[in-house]
Protein backbone atom coordinates (compact mmCIF):
# COMPACT_ATOMS: atom_id res chain seq x y z
CA UNK A 1 0.00 0.00 0.00
CA UNK A 2 1.63 3.26 -1.05
CA UNK A 3 1.13 6.03 1.47
CA UNK A 4 2.08 8.96 -0.72
CA UNK A 5 0.16 11.74 0.94
CA UNK A 6 0.14 11.85 4.75
CA UNK A 7 -1.49 14.40 7.04
CA UNK A 8 0.00 15.23 10.46
CA UNK A 9 -2.34 16.63 13.10
CA UNK A 10 -0.67 18.82 15.74
CA UNK A 11 2.36 20.94 14.85
CA UNK A 12 4.14 20.76 18.21
CA UNK A 13 7.43 19.11 19.09
CA UNK A 14 6.46 15.69 17.79
CA UNK A 15 4.14 16.61 14.91
CA UNK A 16 6.82 18.83 13.35
CA UNK A 17 9.53 16.21 13.75
CA UNK A 18 7.30 13.55 12.19
CA UNK A 19 6.27 15.89 9.35
CA UNK A 20 9.94 16.60 8.67
CA UNK A 21 11.00 12.96 8.35
CA UNK A 22 7.97 12.14 6.21
CA UNK A 23 8.84 15.02 3.86
CA UNK A 24 12.46 13.88 3.75
CA UNK A 25 11.18 10.43 2.76
CA UNK A 26 9.48 12.01 -0.26
CA UNK A 27 5.93 11.96 1.08
CA UNK A 28 3.54 14.85 0.44
CA UNK A 29 2.82 16.13 3.92
CA UNK A 30 -0.20 18.12 5.07
CA UNK A 31 0.32 19.76 8.47
CA UNK A 32 -2.66 20.86 10.57
CA UNK A 33 -2.82 22.54 13.98
CA UNK A 34 -5.86 23.90 15.80
CA UNK A 35 -3.69 26.99 16.38
CA UNK A 36 -2.71 28.44 12.97
CA UNK A 37 0.25 30.33 14.44
CA UNK A 38 1.65 27.06 15.85
CA UNK A 39 1.32 25.53 12.38
CA UNK A 40 3.16 28.45 10.72
CA UNK A 41 5.87 28.47 13.39
CA UNK A 42 6.22 24.73 12.98
CA UNK A 43 6.62 24.94 9.20
CA UNK A 44 9.20 27.73 9.58
CA UNK A 45 11.12 25.76 12.21
CA UNK A 46 11.24 22.65 10.00
CA UNK A 47 12.48 24.72 7.03
CA UNK A 48 15.16 26.33 9.23
CA UNK A 49 16.33 22.93 10.46
CA UNK A 50 16.51 21.47 6.96
CA UNK A 51 18.38 24.49 5.55
CA UNK A 52 20.77 24.44 8.49
CA UNK A 53 21.53 20.77 7.80
CA UNK A 54 22.20 21.64 4.15
CA UNK A 55 24.45 24.55 5.17
CA UNK A 56 26.41 22.17 7.42
CA UNK A 57 26.81 19.67 4.59
CA UNK A 58 24.69 17.02 6.33
CA UNK A 59 22.01 17.11 3.61
CA UNK A 60 22.11 17.87 -0.11
CA UNK A 61 20.70 21.40 -0.68
CA UNK A 62 18.36 19.99 -3.35
CA UNK A 63 17.05 17.34 -0.91
CA UNK A 64 16.51 19.99 1.75
CA UNK A 65 14.54 22.21 -0.67
CA UNK A 66 12.54 19.24 -1.98
CA UNK A 67 11.52 18.30 1.57
CA UNK A 68 10.49 21.89 2.32
CA UNK A 69 8.43 21.96 -0.90
CA UNK A 70 6.73 18.68 0.10
CA UNK A 71 5.30 20.28 3.26
CA UNK A 72 2.02 22.12 3.10
CA UNK A 73 0.08 23.73 5.94
CA UNK A 74 -3.69 23.18 5.94
CA UNK A 75 -6.11 25.41 7.83
CA UNK A 76 -9.14 23.12 7.77
CA UNK A 77 -9.13 19.62 9.20
CA UNK A 78 -11.40 18.57 6.32
CA UNK A 79 -8.36 18.81 4.00
CA UNK A 80 -7.19 15.46 5.45
CA UNK A 81 -9.76 13.98 3.05
CA UNK A 82 -7.09 13.80 0.33
CA UNK A 83 -4.56 11.86 2.46
CA UNK A 84 -3.89 8.10 2.46
CA UNK A 85 -2.88 8.26 6.12
CA UNK A 86 -3.16 10.59 9.10
CA UNK A 87 -0.70 10.74 12.00
CA UNK A 88 -2.14 12.39 15.10
CA UNK A 89 0.22 14.24 17.47
CA UNK A 90 -2.03 16.46 19.62
CA UNK A 91 -1.42 16.72 23.40
CA UNK A 92 -1.65 13.58 25.52
CA UNK A 93 -5.21 14.00 26.81
CA UNK A 94 -7.59 11.13 26.15
CA UNK A 95 -10.70 13.28 25.65
CA UNK A 96 -8.91 15.52 23.18
CA UNK A 97 -7.60 12.55 21.19
CA UNK A 98 -11.04 10.88 21.22
CA UNK A 99 -12.58 14.03 19.76
CA UNK A 100 -9.86 14.24 17.08
CA UNK A 101 -10.29 10.55 16.14
CA UNK A 102 -14.08 10.97 15.92
CA UNK A 103 -13.54 13.84 13.47
CA UNK A 104 -10.88 11.98 11.51
CA UNK A 105 -13.21 8.99 11.22
CA UNK A 106 -15.66 11.23 9.41
CA UNK A 107 -13.28 13.39 7.39
CA UNK A 108 -10.55 11.02 6.21
CA UNK A 109 -10.98 8.79 3.15
CA UNK A 110 -12.63 5.49 4.14
CA UNK A 111 -9.44 3.64 3.17
CA UNK A 112 -7.13 5.98 5.10
CA UNK A 113 -5.05 4.68 8.01
CA UNK A 114 -5.33 6.69 11.23
CA UNK A 115 -2.24 6.48 13.46
CA UNK A 116 -1.69 8.02 16.88
CA UNK A 117 1.64 9.11 18.30
CA UNK A 118 0.26 8.73 21.83
CA UNK A 119 2.86 7.87 24.46
CA UNK A 120 0.61 5.29 26.04
CA UNK A 121 -3.14 5.94 25.81
CA UNK A 122 -5.50 3.13 24.84
CA UNK A 123 -5.47 2.57 21.06
CA UNK A 124 -8.75 0.59 21.29
CA UNK A 125 -10.49 3.69 22.64
CA UNK A 126 -9.20 5.77 19.71
CA UNK A 127 -10.25 3.04 17.26
CA UNK A 128 -13.78 3.02 18.71
CA UNK A 129 -14.00 6.82 18.40
CA UNK A 130 -12.93 6.71 14.74
CA UNK A 131 -15.44 3.95 13.90
CA UNK A 132 -12.95 2.22 11.57
CA UNK A 133 -11.16 -0.06 14.03
CA UNK A 134 -9.27 -2.04 11.37
CA UNK A 135 -7.50 1.15 10.20
CA UNK A 136 -6.40 2.56 13.58
CA UNK A 137 -2.92 1.92 15.01
CA UNK A 138 -0.37 3.39 17.42
CA UNK A 139 2.82 4.74 15.86
CA UNK A 140 4.87 6.00 18.79
CA UNK A 141 7.89 8.02 17.70
CA UNK A 142 10.48 9.20 20.21
CA UNK A 143 11.77 12.71 20.76
CA UNK A 144 13.34 14.09 18.61
CA UNK A 145 11.76 12.07 15.76
CA UNK A 146 14.46 12.90 13.16
CA UNK A 147 17.21 11.28 15.26
CA UNK A 148 15.59 8.64 17.49
CA UNK A 149 15.60 5.28 15.67
CA UNK A 150 12.77 3.46 17.49
CA UNK A 151 9.07 3.51 16.64
CA UNK A 152 6.73 1.45 18.85
CA UNK A 153 3.95 0.04 16.67
CA UNK A 154 0.82 -0.69 18.66
CA UNK A 155 -2.00 -2.80 17.27
CA UNK A 156 -5.46 -2.32 18.71
CA UNK A 157 -7.74 -5.37 19.02
CA UNK A 158 -9.16 -4.98 15.51
CA UNK A 159 -6.21 -3.42 13.65
CA UNK A 160 -5.94 -5.31 10.36
CA UNK A 161 -2.85 -7.14 9.16
CA UNK A 162 -2.86 -4.84 6.14
CA UNK A 163 -2.78 -1.69 8.30
CA UNK A 164 -0.03 -3.17 10.49
CA UNK A 165 2.08 -4.19 7.48
CA UNK A 166 1.67 -0.78 5.81
CA UNK A 167 2.74 1.09 8.95
CA UNK A 168 5.69 -1.24 9.63
CA UNK A 169 6.83 -0.67 6.01
CA UNK A 170 6.38 3.09 6.34
CA UNK A 171 8.48 3.22 9.53
CA UNK A 172 11.25 1.18 7.86
CA UNK A 173 11.07 3.48 4.83
CA UNK A 174 11.72 6.40 7.19
CA UNK A 175 14.92 4.67 8.27
CA UNK A 176 13.45 3.72 11.64
CA UNK A 177 13.34 0.45 13.54
CA UNK A 178 9.68 -0.37 14.20
CA UNK A 179 8.96 -2.79 17.05
CA UNK A 180 5.54 -4.26 17.68
CA UNK A 181 4.24 -3.90 21.23
CA UNK A 182 0.91 -4.73 22.88
CA UNK A 183 -1.69 -2.06 23.54
CA UNK A 184 -1.12 -1.51 27.26
CA UNK A 185 -0.50 1.62 29.38
CA UNK A 186 2.78 3.30 28.40
CA UNK A 187 3.56 0.47 25.94
CA UNK A 188 7.08 -0.85 26.68
CA UNK A 189 9.68 1.94 26.70
CA UNK A 190 7.90 4.45 28.93
CA UNK A 191 6.61 1.71 31.22
CA UNK A 192 10.24 0.76 31.90
CA UNK A 193 11.77 4.24 31.77
CA UNK A 194 9.49 6.27 34.03
CA UNK A 195 9.63 3.97 37.08
CA UNK A 196 13.44 4.20 36.76
CA UNK A 197 13.28 8.02 36.69
CA UNK A 198 10.94 7.90 39.71
CA UNK A 199 13.37 5.65 41.58
CA UNK A 200 16.23 8.07 40.80
CA UNK A 201 14.12 10.84 42.39
CA UNK A 202 13.57 8.66 45.49
CA UNK A 203 17.33 8.03 45.67
CA UNK A 204 17.89 11.80 45.58
CA UNK A 205 15.11 12.54 48.10
CA UNK A 206 16.43 9.92 50.54
CA UNK A 207 19.91 11.45 50.42
CA UNK A 208 21.53 8.35 48.94
CA UNK A 209 23.46 10.47 46.42
CA UNK A 210 23.51 13.98 44.96
CA UNK A 211 21.74 14.73 41.66
CA UNK A 212 24.97 15.13 39.66
CA UNK A 213 26.29 11.87 41.11
CA UNK A 214 23.09 9.91 40.41
CA UNK A 215 23.32 10.89 36.76
CA UNK A 216 27.09 10.30 36.65
CA UNK A 217 26.63 6.83 38.11
CA UNK A 218 23.91 5.89 35.65
CA UNK A 219 25.93 7.09 32.67
CA UNK A 220 29.19 5.47 33.83
CA UNK A 221 27.79 2.45 35.61
CA UNK A 222 24.81 1.53 33.46
CA UNK A 223 25.98 2.98 30.12
CA UNK A 224 22.97 5.28 29.83
CA UNK A 225 23.66 8.13 27.39
CA UNK A 226 21.91 10.60 29.72
CA UNK A 227 21.22 10.36 33.45
CA UNK A 228 17.65 9.82 34.69
CA UNK A 229 17.38 13.23 36.37
CA UNK A 230 18.63 15.13 33.33
CA UNK A 231 16.20 13.08 31.26
CA UNK A 232 13.32 14.05 33.56
CA UNK A 233 14.32 17.70 33.15
CA UNK A 234 14.30 17.23 29.37
CA UNK A 235 10.88 15.53 29.32
CA UNK A 236 9.44 18.07 31.80
CA UNK A 237 8.70 17.27 35.44
CA UNK A 238 4.98 18.00 34.96
CA UNK A 239 4.83 15.52 32.07
CA UNK A 240 6.82 12.99 34.14
CA UNK A 241 4.34 13.36 37.02
CA UNK A 242 1.34 12.97 34.68
CA UNK A 243 2.79 9.81 33.17
CA UNK A 244 3.51 8.22 36.56
CA UNK A 245 0.06 9.13 37.85
CA UNK A 246 -1.60 7.60 34.82
CA UNK A 247 0.43 4.38 35.25
CA UNK A 248 -0.45 4.24 38.97
CA UNK A 249 -4.12 4.57 38.11
CA UNK A 250 -4.33 2.38 35.02
CA UNK A 251 -1.97 -0.38 36.13
CA UNK A 252 -3.42 -0.22 39.65
CA UNK A 253 -0.09 -0.62 41.43
CA UNK A 254 1.74 1.40 44.11
CA UNK A 255 5.03 0.74 42.30
CA UNK A 256 4.30 3.73 40.03
CA UNK A 257 3.49 6.10 42.95
CA UNK A 258 5.22 9.41 42.10
CA UNK A 259 7.95 10.42 44.56
CA UNK A 260 6.72 13.27 46.84
CA UNK A 261 9.80 15.33 45.83
CA UNK A 262 8.59 15.26 42.21
CA UNK A 263 5.18 16.56 43.30
CA UNK A 264 6.80 19.33 45.35
CA UNK A 265 8.97 20.47 42.47
CA UNK A 266 6.01 20.55 40.06
CA UNK A 267 3.95 22.52 42.62
CA UNK A 268 6.82 25.02 42.87
CA UNK A 269 6.94 25.44 39.10
CA UNK A 270 10.35 23.78 38.73
CA UNK A 271 9.46 21.84 35.58
CA UNK A 272 12.93 21.18 34.16
CA UNK A 273 14.53 22.71 31.08
CA UNK A 274 11.43 24.59 29.99
CA UNK A 275 11.39 26.68 33.19
CA UNK A 276 15.18 26.86 33.53
CA UNK A 277 15.12 24.85 36.76
CA UNK A 278 14.52 21.22 37.61
CA UNK A 279 17.01 18.81 39.12
CA UNK A 280 19.61 20.98 37.39
CA UNK A 281 19.70 24.66 36.32
CA UNK A 282 19.58 25.75 32.68
P1 LIG B 1 3.02 19.76 21.88
O2 LIG B 1 2.27 20.39 23.00
O3 LIG B 1 4.41 20.20 21.59
O4 LIG B 1 2.18 19.92 20.51
C5 LIG B 1 0.83 19.64 20.40
C6 LIG B 1 0.23 20.53 19.31
O7 LIG B 1 -1.12 20.10 19.08
C8 LIG B 1 0.17 22.01 19.67
O9 LIG B 1 0.77 22.78 18.65
C10 LIG B 1 -1.33 22.30 19.77
O11 LIG B 1 -1.68 23.62 19.32
C12 LIG B 1 -1.91 21.25 18.85
N13 LIG B 1 -3.31 20.93 19.11
C14 LIG B 1 -3.99 20.94 20.27
N15 LIG B 1 -5.26 20.54 20.07
C16 LIG B 1 -5.39 20.27 18.75
C17 LIG B 1 -6.45 19.81 17.93
N18 LIG B 1 -7.65 19.54 18.44
N19 LIG B 1 -6.23 19.66 16.60
C20 LIG B 1 -5.01 19.93 16.07
N21 LIG B 1 -3.96 20.38 16.80
C22 LIG B 1 -4.14 20.52 18.13
O23 LIG B 1 2.97 18.18 22.17
P24 LIG B 1 4.05 17.06 21.78
O25 LIG B 1 5.12 17.02 22.81
O26 LIG B 1 4.40 17.21 20.35
O27 LIG B 1 3.18 15.74 22.00
C28 LIG B 1 2.23 15.31 21.06
C29 LIG B 1 1.96 13.83 21.27
O30 LIG B 1 3.18 13.12 21.13
C31 LIG B 1 1.42 13.47 22.64
O32 LIG B 1 0.51 12.40 22.52
C33 LIG B 1 2.67 13.00 23.39
O34 LIG B 1 2.38 12.10 24.44
C35 LIG B 1 3.41 12.32 22.27
N36 LIG B 1 4.86 12.19 22.47
C37 LIG B 1 5.57 13.24 22.98
C38 LIG B 1 6.95 13.09 23.15
C39 LIG B 1 7.78 14.22 23.68
O40 LIG B 1 8.88 13.97 24.19
N41 LIG B 1 7.34 15.47 23.60
C42 LIG B 1 7.58 11.89 22.78
C43 LIG B 1 6.81 10.86 22.23
C44 LIG B 1 5.44 11.01 22.08
Per residue in 91-123, pLDDT tens? 988 999 999 999 999 999 999 999 999 999 999
| pLDDT tens-digit readout, 18-34 | 999 999 999 999 999 99
Task: Check pocket membership of 13 for ligand 1, CB cut-off 6 A.
Answer: yes
Q: Please confirm whether the linkage preceding 259 is cis (ω < 30° from 0).
A: no
Which conformational region is residue 131 in: left (phi greater than 0), alpha (psi within -120 to 50 degrees), or beta? left
Per-residue pLDDT of the chain (282 residues; tens, 9 = 90+): 779 999 999 999 999 999 999 999 999 999 999 999 999 999 999 999 999 999 999 999 999 999 999 999 999 999 999 999 999 999 988 999 999 999 999 999 999 999 999 999 999 999 999 999 999 999 999 999 999 999 999 999 999 999 999 999 999 999 999 999 999 999 999 999 999 999 999 999 999 999 999 999 999 999 999 999 999 999 999 989 999 998 998 998 899 999 999 999 999 999 999 999 999 999
Q: Whose CA is nearest to atom 1 of ligand 1?
A: 12
Query: Catalytic one among 64, 117, 140, 198?
Result: 140
Rounded CA gap, 41 and 195, in Å? 34
Ligand 1 geometric centre to CA of 3 (Å): 22
- Domains recognised in the chain with CATH numbers: 5-181 (3.40.50.720), 191-275 (1.10.1040.10)
185 secondary structure, DSSP code: T
Atom of ligand 1 nearest to the CA of 32: 20
* Known catalytic membership, residue 162: no
**H helix runs in the chain, sequence order:** 13-24, 36-55, 61-69, 94-107, 123-130, 161-173, 189-205, 211-221, 228-235, 237-250, 260-267
Determine which residue's CA is closest to atom 10 belonging to ligand 1: 10
Which pLDDT belongs to residue 92? Answer: 87
Amino acid sequence: MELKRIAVIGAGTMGCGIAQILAQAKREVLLYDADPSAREQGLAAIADRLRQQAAQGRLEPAASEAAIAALQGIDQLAAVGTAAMVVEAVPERLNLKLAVFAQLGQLAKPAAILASNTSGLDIDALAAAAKRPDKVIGMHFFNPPPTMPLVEIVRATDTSEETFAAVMALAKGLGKTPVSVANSPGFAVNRILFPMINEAIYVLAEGVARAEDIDRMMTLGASHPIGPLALADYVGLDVTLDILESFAQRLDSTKYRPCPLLREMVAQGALGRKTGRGFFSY
